[in-house]
Amino acid sequence: MLYIVSTPIGNLEDMTLRAIRTLKEVDLITAEDTSHVQILLRKYEINTSVMSYHSYSGNEKLEKIVNLLKEGKSVAVVSDAGTPGISDPAYSLIKRAIEEGVKIVPIPGASSLLAALVMSGKPMHNFLYLGFLPLKKGWQTLLKSLAEEHRTIVIFEAPHRILRTLENLKEYLGDRDIAVCREITKIYEEALRMKISEAIVHFTKTKPRGEFVLVI
């Protein structure tokens, strides 16, 4: 059985009781960053064995985990933060496990996507989630396709790319209203609700810090 366990996106107190119990009871935990997840495991006195599984893990590691599942072992997959499989490498493991007939059990919890949506003030009944925009090839085509998009759009972005992304959004989508959410659930959490042009000015003057979720 493969458990997809959501973990906190900043505030460790957002860990659910069910997630704690699951991580204590499974035979193995797979994590993007084993040293990072140990902070969480120590806080909740979880002593389960941990194996790394990240975007650079080869097919051999993937098949090793799948074989453990086929042998009847219970495995929990966690990401560095939030829900595994959403903009992280757990998707490949989930897909492969399903192909082998392994039961998938989601353990819901914190999600920066949903947290940003509810604090943005934007319509939430119908939205388009894009994850991280392509680094090189394809980003222009993608943004052009969004010119007439009327649903709320959600994008993840890193601090070193935020200014360029905002400039590209303004060029292709126009100067729309945007909620720039960052450091969600952490001490310096904030949501800047303004025009894209105003956000560009803001981050030209203020160094971007933390992980960003853009809601347009």
Confidence of residue 60 (pLDDT cuts 50, 70, 90): confident
Instruction: Please write the tens of the pLDDT for every residue from 74-110.
Output: 999 999 899 998 877 889 999 999 999 999 999 999 9
Residue 184: its pLDDT value, please?
96
3-state secondary structure of 31: strand
Domain with CATH 3.40.1010.10 in the chain: 2-107
Question: What CA–CA distance (Å, rounded) separates 184 from 181?
Answer: 7
End-to-end CA distance of the chain: 38
Average pLDDT over residues 165-172: 96
- Looking at the domain covering 2-107, what would its CATH class be? alpha beta
DSSP 85-143: TSSSTHHHHHHHHHHTT--EEEE----HHHHHHHHHTS--SSEEEEEEPPSSTTHHHHH
Residue 66: partners with Cβ closer than 8 Å, 6 or more residues away: 93, 96, 97, 100, 102
Tens digit of pLDDT for each residue in 3-44? Answer: 999 999 999 999 999 999 999 999 999 998 899 999 999 999
Cα separation, 77 vs 106, in Å, equals 10
Residue-level pLDDT at 85: 86
pLDDT by residue (tens digit) across 172-181? 999 999 999 9
Chain region(s) in the chain for CATH 3.30.950.10 = 112-215
Q: What is the CATH number of domain 112-215?
A: 3.30.950.10
